[in-house]
Amino acid sequence: MVKRNIKTSLSEDDGEVLNENGKRLAEEANKENKKRVRTKNLYRQPTANELNRLQETENLFNSNLFRLQVDEILEEVKLTEKTIKRFTEWYNSFKVYLMSIVEDDLEFDLSEKKITKFLKVKLPILEQLSQTKAMFKFHKFKDIDIVGSYAVGSTINANLMVDVQITVPAETYTKNDSINYRYHKKRAAYLAYIASHLQKSDLIDELHYCLFNMSLTKPVLIVKPKGKLSNTLLVRLNLACDDEAYKLHRFSPKRNNLRETWLLQSEKQECSAVGPQTPYYNCSVLSDLTAKINNDFIATTLSNSQNLKQAIILLKIWLKQRKLCVSGHIINMLVCCLVQIKRINNIMSSYQIVRNIWIYLKSSEWDTKGLSLSKSKDAPPMDEFLESFPVVFLDKTGYYNICWQMCKGTYNALRRESELAVEMLDNPKLNSFLQLFMVPVSNLTQFDHIIRFKNIQSLKSSVLERVSKENKLNYGLDELPLVVNSIYSLLSKGLTDRVDLILQLGEADFSWPVKKTLEKAKEGYDEKVSFGLVLNPANAIKIVDKGPQANLPEAEEFRLFWGDKSELRRFADGSHIEACVWDGDTFAQRRSISTQIVDYLMELKYSVQPRDIFHICNQLDSLTARKMAAAEQGEEVSVKVLRVFDELRRDMRALTQLPLEISAVYGTSSVFSYSNPLPPLPSIPDPRAWRKASTCLIKTQKDDKRIFLPSYTEANRAMIELSYSGKWPGDIEAFRCLKAAFHLQISDRIKSQYSLASQAYPTHIDVNKNGLSFRLEIFHPKEVTLLRREVVDGVVKFKESEESVKLQRDTMLLAILRGALHGLHQKHPAFGPTACLFKRWLSSHLLSPTHFPSTLAELVTASVFLQPEPLTPPTQPTVGLFRVLQLLLNTDWATQMIVLDFNGDMTREEITELEQKFSDRSENGPQMCIVTSYDGELPSVWSSSAPSRQVVLRAQALAKATLSYIEKALMEDMSDNILAAFIPSYSGYDVLIHLHANLVPHFNERIDSRPKLNASDDVMGDVIPVLEFNPVEKYLEELQGAYEDFALFFHDSFGGDVIAVLWKPHVKDYRDFQIASANALKPVKVKGETKYEVNIEAIIEDFKLIGDGLVKEVVVNM
């Protein structure tokens, strides 16, 4: 008790301390001796309050930062005083107006149209119920109340709905109204009566009916208040029922309230008086009956509990960001329940409460054990509920299942997200607050695979034909939930452990004006049925679904479920097992086995044709295929390269008669981490080619005939590490010379020992093995040291120079990073293809590696897999690309950095230090800061030279456009072809240089070109083909070298035959003539004065000259 008192008193004082601090800081800013005051400030005697606050933060919150962030967000979502005041005023007059409704003695037969004519509004009820006979007379309600989150004080200010509840007097309903939707019809009439009254009010802007939680039988009124208030909130008018109207036990789950004869119009009279149980229908009535009790319970539990309310707000923000369809009411009830069972209390901090709730949810079992708030013994047993509902959470009375409409998928998602949330909180290296509360998820990036059904009506009817009568009766008129639940259980049974989550995707509540009938309003509105799948990376790629042993009785059930697909198979371990085998020859096919299963099962069980099912999962696979190899997937080609490389490595290490042994060979090309969009293919050198030593030359034609270029071959680069020796010379040139000597010797040995074609160069060795070419280079750290060496006053100092950084980056760091990325691909097989897609995307929008380094592209992709929070790593490359684009778009690169910790060996302190350095960095540092755990002394080395700020902004703009295009194409238009997202726009550039297509490398790999058959696979290379001769790259190098002061050059490095040129801003201004900047200037006479400007015409002329033979045409855009 004492402790608590201290705390509360403290928290009051706290505010003052803070204020004082804030003031002082503000004053300080003006003073010059700021620093001195600050230190004095830091060393001042601590007050008891301060000590306590520091301690409290340590004990009750995750971290200081977390606490401050929680405070900020709560402040942000709070309703403003102004709004509250405005609403209170409005509500008071609204209440007065509502209470002025007069009770009349008119009685209507609801099966006739008389009432709608009288009220001048339509009844919000389905056509099927129009014939239902009921006599309705309006009895005036006693009171209206504000309920829900607004009443409790746990609102968030986005899309706020204030729940207003009217309790319908018991005498409105007769004893027998509870069956066959007569209750619902009268309820609708009552609502229409109120709507009709409200129509005449001038307090209201618009009046809509709305189907609450998509339940067809429970409409509510959405009231849009007049004036500015409607910008911030809407009022939802709901009808509850006086709890004296019916005894609750009439609606216990085993009871029948919906007669078969009525619903199915069957004439059969032989069935007994009491039909099958209708728990779903019962709950639709119970929710009204129990509303008052539950709301009172929430109000009493939460009143004066500030921390509980804050926790609820936090939870609501979290749910909203995760797009989970869990209502605020359920959250309120859950919090109350946990208070009741003493898992949480108001003394805990909001952080602790939220954390406890997550921990509870994570291990809760509402689907198998259920949860009940009720303590009374009369209530029906839990088992009855568990039989009839997928998710069970009983209210205070013990009759009403609050989660009656919740699908099991939603509950599983809730559980899974809670688990992820706890993991994030426990991850000390993550500022989990942002990921938990600030980052919204979208369906497109959240799921690996989304299933959408195209023809809802036929789907509905074919599913309804096949479900049992009991089920149909239970769901009554709410057909959609029945369809969704049936498909859900089919999917979960068929996909078993391949998926971590199946979630039906919710749609917004349907609302329509009160003057329209429901049927009319529904025209032009098509319901959507879609499911999102999160695949399990390990199990999703299984080719075989193993069933039970053939001789067991379960085998029959398995056969029945899978139909013809089930085969009896013998496995290597000798067992005979029923199994289903799916097509999965390539990695890409194996990743999309889930589509095969869904297509097969839907056709088998509900005869839904595959063309009526739309899958969003592997749309972009065609982009990772190598078209010159008969569209073989890049992964398979990469594997082949890796296999040859492994052999070569072994060979290299076994080389003899070398002065120093080769201790290791590291691959550095992107193909070694599966992230080269166009992995090298075995090539066949032209037998007629000219040769020098072991290498082919390029033929030059003397006359002006067309030059024939051999097809472009990329070399696979690798680093050779020699065993230790202290005898390397201490002079950089001598060092390089000795390296060349080693190259020569190694090349010699490769030739004689393995008779492989090999050629030595001063800088590297080329080796050809199985038609693949490798470019090996000796690397020794001393070379970097020598480049860094500097002698100042006779003292040797080491300083990074541009050259040393480049060498270190391209050799040592790249080799380590490549290994790490290779490991990442092994762990997350979608990494490689995702990186390929991202690179192609960048390049197709003309941001080739000179503007956006390809290693940086790999790192951005890697961060999607290493730090997927709040999601889990994607298993589909297509989704991976969406996530990469989203990351690119949503990161504020000016203020945020990404730390990639591949093996988790960076400590919290190191990361903090990096962040500190980042925030203190100067303006001209890297524009996209991504630090890996290997960077060491050179943080963010991969983005040090490029991209520029403009390129980052351009890439972000492109990502935004691409994402919105894809979202529209996939989620709305359901079109499979989204390749248009990879077609660049050439508008806006100043000059376009068109190249001869036959000279452009990879021209056949363009997005629009067709796959070709591979000539042959078996090539014995006794000669090295022309390697890495890329005229376009040479041309670009020269252009960039000579004209970088005047223009930027953009090109698609994967087969683009256009170079787009953009003049730099101010290129057309007049300039001063100075020796250092006289380049490309020409004198012009302006008003008799000689001024100088850039000679643009001459530069364009130069473009043609420099690119002689390659350039087809230069087009200047005016």
Partner 1 sequence: MKSAHNKTQYRALELHFIKDSPHPHVIYFKEHLVREHTADKPSGRTLFVVNIPPYVDEQCMIKAFRKAGDIQSVQFSIKPNSTISQNSEIFLKEKCTPNFKLCYLVFKTVIGLDNALKLTELQPINCDSHLTLGLKKWINEYNSTILKPSELKDSIERFMEEYDKKTKQEMEKEKQMQEEDDEGWVTVTKRGNIQSFPRTEKVENKIMAKEEKSKKKKELKNFYTFQIRESKMKHIVSLRQKFEEDKKKIAQLKQSRRFKPF
Q: Which of 282, 328, 285 is nearest to 163 (CA)?
A: 328
Q: Taking CB under 8 A as the rule, does residue 1075 contact partner 1? A: yes
Give 192-242 as a 3 state SS string.
HHHHHHHHCCCCEEEEEEEEHHHCCCCEEEEEEECCCHHHHEEEEEEEEEC
Least separation, in Å, of the C-beta of 61 and partner 1? 11
Q: Is 740 in the site for partner 1 (CB under 8 A)?
A: yes
User: Whole-number minimum distance, CB 886 to partner 1, in Å?
Assistant: 16
Q: How far apart are CA 454 and CA 303, in angstroms?
A: 48
**Using rule CB under 8 A, residue 603 touches partner 1:** no
Contact flag: residue 360 with partner 1 (CB under 8 A): no
Helix, strand or coil, per DSSP, at residue 741 = helix
Kindly state whether residue 60 participates in binding partner 1, applying the rule CB under 8 A. no
Segment 1015 to 1034, residues that bind partner 1, using CB under 8 A = 1026, 1029, 1031, 1034
Residue placing its CB nearer to partner 1 in the complex, 467 or 744: 744
Taking the complex as a whole, the smallest distance from the CB of residue 854 to partner 1 amounts, in Å, to 21
Residue closer to partner 1 (CB basis): 433 or 672: 433
Strand ranges, E, within 374-510? 393-394, 449-453, 499-504
1076 interacts with partner 1 by CB under 8 A: yes
Phi and psi of 1018, rounded to 5°? -90, 110
Interacting residue with partner 1 among 65, 264, 538, 568 (CB under 8 A): 65
Nearer to partner 1, 196 or 695 (CB): 695
Per CB under 8 A, which region of 407-415, 612-620, 687-695, 842-850 contacts partner 1? 687-695
CB atoms within 10 A of CB 676: 24
| Cis geometry, peptide bond prior to residue 276 (ω within 30 degrees of 0) | no
**Region near partner 1 per CB under 8 A, out of 410-418, 901-909, 950-958, 1077-1085:** 1077-1085
Applying CB under 8 A, does 73 fall inside the site for partner 1? yes
First to last CA, the chain: 80
User: Residues 799, 804, 809, 812: is their CA dihedral positive or negative?
Assistant: negative
Please list every residue from 772 through 801 that binds partner 1, using CB under 8 A: 794-798
| CA distance linking residue 696 with residue 1025, whole number of Å | 5
- The least CB distance from residue 693 to partner 1, in Å, is 5
Of the candidate residues 321, 596, 770, 801, the single one contacting partner 1 (CB under 8 A): 321
According to CB under 8 A, which one of 64, 266, 998, 1117 is a site residue for partner 1? 64
- The residue from 112, 1073, 1113, 1116 that contacts partner 1 (CB under 8 A) is 1073
**Does residue 1110 bind partner 1 (CB under 8 A)?**
yes
Q: Which residue among 734, 957, 1015, 1116 contacts partner 1 (CB under 8 A)?
A: 734
Site for partner 1 in 150-179 (CB under 8 A): 158-159
Cα–Cα distances (Å) from 436 to 156, 415, 421, 425, 865, in that order, read 16, 15, 7, 9, 18
Q: Specify the residue, 184 or 309, whose C-beta has the smaller distance to partner 1.
A: 309
Among 438, 538, 957, 980, binds partner 1 (CB under 8 A): 438
Residue 29 in contact with partner 1, rule: CB under 8 A: no
Question: Of 544, 974, 1095, 1114, which lies in the binding site for partner 1, with binding defined by CB under 8 A?
Answer: 1095
Q: Which of 250, 320, 362, 1112 binds partner 1 (CB under 8 A)?
A: 320
Of positions 298, 317, 820, 951, contacts partner 1 by CB under 8 A: 317
Whose CA is closest to 217, among 585, 476, 468? Answer: 476
* Closest CB 809 distance from partner 1, rounded Å: 18
Residue 245 CB, shortest distance to partner 1, in Å, is 39
The b-or-e profile of 447-477 (16+ CB within 10 A means b, else e) is: bbbbbbbbebeebbebbbeebeeeebbbbbb
Nearer to partner 1, 567 or 915 (CB): 915
Q: Which residue has the tokens 């018991």?
A: 170
659 binds partner 1 (CB under 8 A): no
Are 336 and 305 contacting, i.e. CB atoms less than 8 angstroms apart? no
Binding status of residue 953 toward partner 1 by CB under 8 A: no
Instruction: Kindly state the smallest distance separating residue 847's Cβ from partner 1, in Å.
Output: 21
- Interface segment toward partner 1; rule CB under 8 A; list 291-299, 556-564, 730-738, 838-846: 730-738
Least distance CB 502 / partner 1 (angstroms): 27
Kindly state whether residue 759 participates in binding partner 1, applying the rule CB under 8 A: yes
Query: From the CB of 914, what's the least distance to partner 1, in Å?
Result: 14
Structure tokens at 164: 């207003």
Q: How far is the CB of 394 from partner 1 (least distance, A)?
A: 32
CA of 335: how far to CAs of 70, 361, 415, in Å? 19, 11, 15
CA dist 1035 and 1047 (Å) reads 14
What is the side-by-side order of every strand in the sheet holding 219-225? 144-147, 160-168, 233-241, 219-225, 204-211, 511-513
Nearer to partner 1, 227 or 729 (CB): 729
Using rule CB under 8 A, residue 581 touches partner 1: no
User: Among residues 265 and 700, whose Cβ is nearest to partner 1?
Assistant: 700
Among residues 1065, 1042, 1049, 1045, the alpha carbon closest in space to that of 992 is found at: 1049
Q: Report d(CA 937, CA 917) in Å as an integer.
A: 12
Among 76, 378, 554, 557, binds partner 1 (CB under 8 A): 76
DSSP class of residue 524 equals T
CA distance 551 to 544: 19
CA 1092/CA 1098 separation, integer angstroms: 14
- Residue among 732, 740, 855, 727 at smallest CA distance from 801: 732
- Of 61 and 399, nearer to partner 1 (C-beta) is 61
Measured CA to CA, the distance from residue 224 to residue 203 in angstroms comes to 9
Please say which residue, 128 or 1040, places its beta carbon nearer to partner 1.
1040
Nearer to partner 1, 509 or 915 (CB): 915
Segment 206-235, which members bind partner 1 (CB under 8 A)? Answer: none
**Interface with partner 1, residue 1108, by CB under 8 A:** yes
Told to check if 708 binds partner 1 by CB under 8 A, we report: no
CA angle 538, 422, 824 (to 5 degrees): 35
Establish if 1068 lies at the interface with partner 1 (CB under 8 A): no
Both tokens of 499, joined, read 């998926």
